[in-house]
Amino acid sequence: MARRHKPNTPPAKQRFSGAESHKPNTPPPAATKKQFTAAERSALYARREAANVLRTVLRGDAERRAVASIKSIVFSPSVRNKRATFALVCETLKHLSVIKDVLEIANVLNSKWKRQEPLVYIICYDILFGKDTPSIGDAEKFLMRRKDALLSGLATLLVRKKVKSVEQLMGVSQLNGHLKPRYVRVNTLKMDVDSAVQELEKHYTVQKDETVPDLLVLPPGSDLHAHRLVANGRIFLQGKASSMVAAALQPEAGWEVLDACSAPGNKTIHLAALMEGQGKIIACELNEERVKRLEDTIKLSGASNIEVCHGDFLGLNPKDSSFAKVRAILLDPSCSGSGTITDRLDHLLPSHAADNMNYDTMRLHKLAGFQKKALAHALSFPQVERVVYSTCSIHQIENEDVVSSVLPLASSLGFKLATPFPQWQRRGLPVFSGSEHLLRMDPVEDKEGFFIALFVKTDKLDNQKSSELPKRECRGRREERRTMQLHPYLCPKMFRAWSNMLHRRRRRLALSTSSED
């Protein structure tokens, strides 16, 4: 390998002559370089992080294959300055259509900066609408030199649209007044609910949720992303609707359960907690990037009974011996996300503009087709007794229509619709007989739209083998087991009916025995 060597050079005084030779104390150029403040460096780094997030979000939106929601991407471990990054991404997305129009009118971008559009959008937001004027960074300097052209472009746009302010220009696209409580689910694998309440009450007002036992309710805007209980996996920031899904399935300790579309994993680890860390959960996920996130969630939760399956749920063979003991399936498939657009901030994305209505209709039909296949596939596993189907959608085509389409198959396999959370008031749309068993959450009343359907196998009990006990005693035992499995939480009317029948039968048996004596 060739060696690098320095040529013989004369001393500094010999290299310079004339006016420069009498300035021996002049510092080198590096010494005069401006020192940036900590605030400037932080803002510079936040803009770069925001640009990376924005690039991921816009690419996923354009391809309709989002890796995760905006919040999930921003609050991933790889993003350090989460609060500043989140604010920049959200505000830039809110103003994105305006920023694009201004850049087109001003015509200030060359080919170099057109290749870095997400960063340009972030900086333009700061220049046009932000409180802080960017002062360092090559892209910032390039755009600041063209600030007058950008402001002129904004003024031209206001005239073209015949409005007087940016607020009027943006119309009512921003959703204001959406005050939703902060929900926190306690990871009972690591911490009990009362201890979590005691710890959180040091800084927040905390209430226990009336529907989900391990869910806590905090005031809107409570920021716990940096809280140590979140960092160590003792609590998870999980919405109420999402927390209701695993609770509706009601897996028992020791069961084998299949989570069909598992990532990012909040419902999966909730299942593990409900099963007290016992039994086995098969967590199926197709997307490789989401598998990594699923594994991180599982590791943080401390759950040891979860087996990750990187593959397509529809590709699993229900008759394979690997699934012979699976007794419950949680199916939360890909959906439009129309019930949680405010939480996910999807309403800020370009694909949710008014001119995408035709595409959305086609997308809904495509999603519904997949959902029907997935639900029919879940019901076909031979030993499965319970299946929960859930979406974060408000559309009938993804909810009631999907359930209705598989009811004949479900009935032939011995499944019937049960009623999860009987005390819940909002039920399915009355579009078919039995829709009163379905559960809906309303985007206005409940601050998010959600849908849950619970299928329970009813003919399994009829197929049990009888023992060699006398017929009367054997029948009583069977009825007792049947009554125990009809949990009052799921179907209270049926439970009361069987309880009364069992009570009358026992009474007749007692009278018959006493008369024989």
Annotated binding site for S-adenosyl-L-methionine: 261-267, 285, 312, 332
Bridge partners (DSSP) listed for residue 328? 257, 386
CA distance 329 to 387: 5
Structure tokens at 292: 């990594």
| Nearest Cα residue to 329 out of 277, 366, 281 | 281
CB 445 within 8 A of CB 425: no
CA distance 264 to 237: 12
The count of C-alpha atoms lying within 13 angstroms of the C-alpha of 223, restricted to the half-sphere facing its C-beta, is 6
CA–chain centroid gap for 341, Å, is: 11
The count of C-alpha atoms lying within 13 angstroms of the C-alpha of 28, restricted to the half-sphere facing its C-beta, is 2
Q: Is 491 a catalytic residue?
A: no
**DSSP assignment, residue 340?**
S
Determine if the peptide bond prior to 264 is cis (ω within 30°): yes
Q: Which of 124, 284, 335, 392 is catalytic?
A: 392
CA distance 411 to 340: 32
CA distance 303 to 393: 29
Q: How many helices (H) and strands (E) does the chain have?
A: 20, 12
CA distance 94 to 64: 19
Burial class (CB in 10 A: 0-12, 13-18, 19+), 230: middle
Residues annotated as catalytic (active site), given as ranges? 392
